[in-house]
Amino acid sequence: MSPTVISEEDVKNYESLKGKEGGIPDQGSGYIPLAGDVKYKDLNGDGKIDEKDVRDIGYPMYPLYSMGINMGFSYKGFDLSMTWSGAFKTSRMLSSTYLEPFGHSNNFSLMKYMVDDAWTPEKGNSAKAPALSFRSKGHNYMSSDLWLRNASYLRLKNIELGYSLPRSVTQKLHVSSLRVSLSGYNLLTFDKLKVCDPETNPNGTAYPMIKILNFGLRIGI
C-alpha cells in the first residue's frame, strides 16, 4: 500500500490547521512535521492521533489455516516424491532491521528496498514508504497497517528424484542394489511478503531458511 504522507504544503500549514475540521489531524504532542512523514488517519474524528485511534488489524502471527501435501510416484526404476506446506490468513508486522532504516541505533545496514520505496518529492504519493529521516523515526515507524504484511505462503519443503538401477546391471556390478538420488529442501516458495522469509520473525534476529541440495548414492551389498 502507499502511505498518506505529510506534504510540503502540510508542513507550512500544520500549526494553523492541526486538529481543525477539514485540516490536518494533530499527529501528537511535540511532533514537528517533515515532508514525507507518515500522516496517520484520525479514526474517531476527534482531530488528534492518540490511543483512541488504535484498531485491530491483520491476522494473527500464527496462521488460521495451515496445510501439508505429500505425493510421489515410481515408474520403471524412477521415483519422485515431494512435500508441500502452506499457511494462510496470517500477518507479520515488520520490526527492527526490516522496519527502521539504519536500525534503531542508526548503526545498522540500510536495506535496498528501503531506498527504493522511500518517499521523495519526485515520487510523491506513488512512494511505498515515508522519507528516509533520522529525526522522525519515532513517528514514522509505529505499528500500523503501513508495516503490516501478508505472510501467507505455499512452499515446496522437499523434493527427491531417484533412480534404481535394474537388477541386470547391479548383478554385473556385484551389488544387490544401487540407487542414485537428488533431493532439495526449501527450493521454491510462493508468497507476498518478499522482505523476509514467511516462516521467520521479521525482526532481523532469526536465521533465515536456507535452500539445500543433496546428492545421494545408496549401495546394497
Adjacent-strand bridge partners of 79: 74, 162
Q: Decide: 124 and 130 in contact? Cβ < 8 Å.
A: no
Q: pLDDT band for position 208 (50/70/90)?
A: confident
> Whole-number mean pLDDT of the chain?
89
Q: Each residue of 127-141: b (16+ CB within 10 Å) or e?
A: bebbbbbeebbebbb
pLDDT in tens, 18-61: 888 888 889 888 888 889 999 898 999 999 998 999 999 999 98
pTM of the model: 0.82
Domain boundaries, the chain: 65-92+150-220
